[in-house]
Amino acid sequence: MARTFVCKVHDVEADSLREFEPRPGHKVCVIHSGETFFACQPTCPHEGVPLCEGCVDATTLTCLEHLWQWDLRTGAPLGLAERPLTTFAVEIEGESIYLGE
């Protein structure tokens, strides 16, 4: 995937999640946790619940529907989760957030 602009840094408040559609038909969930930004698939791999309705604690993302959790650094399942999460490289340039190549 070529580097793609997603949003501005200020579009995602600290310790929050927000969904964006950087390209038609390609949505991502951007997570701002502490000083770090992460990006992942927009829906839970379990039942398609929007992950931006979940919660984040440091590097752990939790889907509130059935409490599946993932490590945002790797997408690895934690606890009850049975499937990995697709994550994307994030690049910050100035005030812009990009999905990396």
pLDDT surpassing 60 at residue 82: yes
> CATH assignment of 4-99?
2.102.10.10
Q: Between the CA of residue 15 and those of 58, 64, 77, 83, what are the distances in Å? A: 8, 16, 20, 24
* Cβ proximity of 71 and 59 under 8 Å: yes
pTM (2 d.p.): 0.94
* Helix segments in 1-101, DSSP class H: none
Provide the mean pLDDT of the chain.
Answer: 95
Instruction: For residues 11-32, give the mean pLDDT.
Output: 96
**Kind and range of the H or E element at 38?**
strand 36-40
Residue 94, pLDDT score:
97
Give dist(CA 83, CA 97) in Å, integer. 27
